[in-house]
Amino acid sequence: MSEKVFLMKFGRCAWHQCLFCGYGRIKGKEPSIGNLRKEFDSFFGKLEPDVDHIKVFGSGSFLDEKQIPPEGRRYFIQKCRESGIRKLTIESRPEFVKGDVLKEFEGIELEVSIGLEIADDGILDKIDKGFHLRDFEIASRLLHSHNARVRTYLLVNLPFVDDIKKSLDRSVKYALEFSDSIVLINLLPHYRSRLMNMWVRGEWNFLSRDEFYKIVNGWVDNPRIELDVETFRFIPRFPPELREDLSGVGERYLTHPHFEVWQDYLLRWYKIPGEKEILLFLPCSHRKPYSASETHREIIKKLNESNLRKKIHEVMISNAGLVPREFEDYYPFNAYDWDESLETEEIKKRYIEVTSKRIENYLKVHGHRYKKVLCFLKYDSESYTALKIACSNLGIDMMNLLSPETYRRIRGYKRPLLDKRALDDLLHNLEFQ
């Protein structure tokens, strides 16, 4: 027998104010009975015969009658019965757990997940959870008195917590008293949540996978406890209201917090795509995304000709930091503009200092994943100098696909990397790898 997830995309969370949650702000489809029936019919119509457990996920509360009106809820329960569903898992805030509603589920093993987050009323107020431990306890008792099971979500690493480990121990012990199972969730910044703003301002930071597992280590063998290190595919997405104009040259445009959080993400969360085994450092370009610039278009053409592109991990070196090709069209990498003609000797020095450190840190974390480190950079560029410093500090061999002889001949040109001889070098030297 197996389980199937139903994603509830109706209405909106009645509370929608939790500091860490971006989902609660999303407005779903109008929960009219017509819409609900259509969606439920389509879901149950495609259900494989061996499915006997349905898990309903979605922001908000399945038991909130504004989000799923009673008629829709009853229709869903009826469809569960007709389809032979043995177990149903739904999510709800405590205030929507009512005895008369629970009776409607009789005959189905009901499990209700409640996002308690932490067993601390003071922190629950600070994160604007909108309920207290007493509310959770009342809901839990009511659920148990109707033979339903309680599944409790706890967030690991909430802001305002002084000692994460101690606070987690307390929360787990408390939640075990009132729950049948617990999920320990690694808190990551949701798009459009207030936590995202705190992260960008440096007031809070996420835990890497290793940091998370280290903290929850004492609970891994408990059969009532599950771990969820990544509840969604985490990529730093800046909502429009947080974005800034990042055009300029100077310290602000080198170590801006929006660049720094991305560099931290690349070190502590990012995983190199599986098939990439050759690291190729490339220059950035004035035009964004980089691949729309003439230089990058020509470089990409050559990489495609080499048949090696799949294995090559293209990483651009810029004042915004290192930018893997797959992120080039994300803010802030598609939104900055560093005009080289405005560079002073002092800022060039800082660029080399900051950039060599960024490259070194990146190679320390990810270097072992690559078989080779290559670049296609002008020899007299600050990016090349920074790369050389980083590789020499780490004892890593690095090769410039642009040969020194070719560069001597073309260095006076306005855009030397676009020169046919440079691009021929790129392809030729790549084929010898």
Q: Which stretch binds ligand SF4 (CB under 6 A): 14-22, 105-113, 241-249, 256-264?
A: 14-22
Q: Which stretch binds ligand SF4 (CB under 6 A): 21-29, 228-236, 245-253, 277-285?
A: 21-29
Please give the Cα distance from 212 to 400 (Å, whole number): 39
- How many other β-carbons are positioned within 10 Å of the β-carbon of residue 336? 21
* Of the residues 28, 31, 94, 115, which one makes contact with ligand SF4 according to CB under 6 A: 115
Q: Which stretch binds ligand SF4 (CB under 6 A): 20-28, 31-39, 302-310, 411-419?
A: 20-28
User: What is the chain's alpha carbon radius of gyration, rounded to the nearest angstrom?
Assistant: 27
Please give the Cα distance from 352 to 382 (Å, whole number): 6
The reply on whether position 60 binds ligand SF4 by CB under 6 A is yes
Single-letter code of the amino acid located at 409: R
Do the Cβ atoms of 154 and 116 come closer than 8 Å?
A: yes
Single-letter code of the amino acid located at 160: F
The reply on whether position 9 binds ligand SF4 by CB under 6 A is no
Q: Which stretch binds ligand SF4 (CB under 6 A): 16-24, 352-360, 394-402, 419-427?
A: 16-24
The reply on whether position 24 binds ligand SF4 by CB under 6 A is yes
* Of the residues 18, 54, 85, 156, which one makes contact with ligand SF4 according to CB under 6 A: 18
Q: Which residue's Cβ lies closest to ligand SF4?
A: 24
The reply on whether position 15 binds ligand SF4 by CB under 6 A is yes
**Encoded tokens for 340:** 């080289």
Within 78-107, which residues bind ligand SF4 (CB under 6 A)? 93
What Å distances lie between residue 409 and 109, 134, 281, 405, CA to CA? 77, 77, 22, 7
Residue 113 or 355: the one with the smaller Cβ distance to ligand SF4 is 113
What Å distances lie between residue 430 and 262, 274, 325, 379, 405, CA to CA? 29, 20, 18, 18, 16
Q: Which stretch binds ligand SF4 (CB under 6 A): 10-18, 70-78, 169-177, 379-387?
A: 10-18
Give phi and psi for 121, each to the nearest 5.
-60, -35
Q: What's the DSSP call for residue 367?
A: G
Give the shortest CB-217-to-ligand SF4 separation in angstroms: 26
Residue 15 or 407: the one with the smaller Cβ distance to ligand SF4 is 15
Please give the Cα distance from 155 to 188 (Å, whole number): 10
Instruction: Provide the binding-site residues for ligand SF4, judged by CB under 6 A.
Output: 13, 15-18, 21, 23-24, 59-60, 93, 115
